[in-house]
């Protein structure tokens, strides 16, 4: 069900976001830009991905045509009052997974929908509980799956998710990077 016959543009190179958008029934075109994902240090939890998805959206404003609907998204992991973005190195990835080990963290994904004359942003939060991970499990995962493109250094749909996640409260798809239920509902209203 297309929202008001818009042509959908997904501004994301994430294969998971592309797959999820396709699976909920939308045809779309992918458009990409390199955008520095810097944010003000005072932002907390959901404020960070909301800021970043709107920053990404703003970069496309001038080239959006009438009848096009742009989707941008950003996902962060929030644990113990700090944000975990994508790790820049193996050491950083190890440190992130050690911090998540045996703890609950929150995954926030924010989405911005934008047409030539309308903008709507929203987010979802999912609580994820990790078992206590061994050093060997962490190193095996990082060496095998190289999760450097994932917030918090893990993908729920990969080995670490299979063996490490004890419980999820909220949307699993949000943890993968796209809150599909909320996205569908907002696309229908747009």
Task: Give catalytic residues, as residue numbers.
Answer: 74
Question: DSSP letter string over 17-32?
Answer: HHHHHHHTT---EE--
Token duo for residue 153: 């250094």
Residue 34, number of CB atoms within 10 A of its CB: 6
Residue 146, number of CB atoms within 10 A of its CB: 13
Q: Is 59 exposed, middle or buried (0-12, 13-18, 19+ CB in 10 A)?
A: middle
DSSP state of 89: S
List CB contacts of 64: < 8 A, sequence separation 6 or more: 9, 70, 114, 115, 116
List CB contacts of 148: < 8 A, sequence separation 6 or more: 86, 87, 88, 93
């Amino acid at each position: 069900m297309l929202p008001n016959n818009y042509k959908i543009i997904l501004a994301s190179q994430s294969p998971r976001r592309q797959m999820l958008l396709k699976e909920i029934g939308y045809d779309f075109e992918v458009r990409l830009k390199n955008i520095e994902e810097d944010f003000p240090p005072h932002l907390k939890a959901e404020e960070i991905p909301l800021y970043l998805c709107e920053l990404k959206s703003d970069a496309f404003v001038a080239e959006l045509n009438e009848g096009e609907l742009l989707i941008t998204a950003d996902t962060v992991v929030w644990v113990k009052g700090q944000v975990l973005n994508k790790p820049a190195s193996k050491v950083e990835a190890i440190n992130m997974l050690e911090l998540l080990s045996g703890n609950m963290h929150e995954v926030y994904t924010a989405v911005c929908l934008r047409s030539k004359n309308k903008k709507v942003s929203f987010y979802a939060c999912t609580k994820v509980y990790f078992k206590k991970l061994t050093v060997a499990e962490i190193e095996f995962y990082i060496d095998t799956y190289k999760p450097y493109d994932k917030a918090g250094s893990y993908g729920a749909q990969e080995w670490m998710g299979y063996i490490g996640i004890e419980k999820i409260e909220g949307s699993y798809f949000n943890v993968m990077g796209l809150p599909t239920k909320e996205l569908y509902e907002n696309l229908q209203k747009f």
